[in-house]
């Protein structure tokens, strides 16, 4: 049986927000080139849609990281599963994530990019869940703030399912 999911943000609302974020990034980086770095896998849908709405020159790269610790909480120590393909030295970087949760991993990745010589590292995230924050980190370009609920769709998953949903929803009933 399938899970029952209630829609929180429709595809139309998400698209309008991403257009707004793309305009803001384009204004903030006018006459600059930026490097968008996608945090795989969850951010991939948001990343592609956001990139299409940015009018300044953009270069793409991808990174995959995992947190480890007791298995339920991010420790802030990361394991890089997929390294960047190009250096970031001298670059204006926008790190693109699906959701800011505890902030531990993103803070570590941002610091790593700065240590590697990035001129600046901004954070774009489709969702922000500030009630779960464990470290001080703020997004620069945020789509939506959400309460402490588990969400799926638009790249976010539950056991690798539901990434392809064109909306963001909350599982209200698990039928497994």
Give me the active site residues, please.
101
β-strand pairing of 120-128 with 58-67: unpaired
Residue 5: alpha-carbon gap to chain centroid: 22
Based on its alpha-carbon atoms, the radius of gyration of the chain, rounded to whole angstroms, reads: 16
Contact (CB, 8 A) for 14 and 171: no
Phi, psi angles (nearest 5°) of residue 16: -60, -40
Beta bridge partners of 82: 64
**Cα 105 to Cα 4, 56, 119, distances in angstroms:** 30, 28, 20
């Amino acid at each position: 049986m399938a899970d029952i999911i209630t829609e929180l943000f429709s595809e139309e609302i998400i698209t309008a927000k991403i257009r707004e974020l793309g305009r803001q990034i384009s204004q903030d980086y006018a006459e600059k080139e930026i490097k968008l770095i996608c945090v795989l896998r969850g951010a991939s849908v948001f990343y592609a849609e956001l990139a299409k709405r940015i009018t300044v020159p953009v270069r793409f790269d991808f990174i995959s990281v995992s947190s480890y610790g007791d298995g339920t909480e991010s420790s802030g120590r990361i394991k890089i599963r997929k390294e960047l393909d190009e250096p970031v030295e001298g670059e204006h970087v926008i790190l693109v994530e699906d959701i800011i949760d505890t902030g531990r991993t993103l803070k570590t990745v941002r610091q790593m990019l700065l240590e590697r010589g990035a001129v600046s590292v901004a954070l774009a995230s489709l969702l922000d869940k500030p009630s779960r924050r464990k470290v001080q980190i703020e997004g620069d370009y945020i789509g939506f703030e959400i309460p402490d609920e588990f969400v799926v769709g638009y790249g976010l998953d539950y056991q690798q399912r539901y990434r392809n949903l064109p909306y963001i929803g909350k599982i209200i009933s698990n039928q497994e």
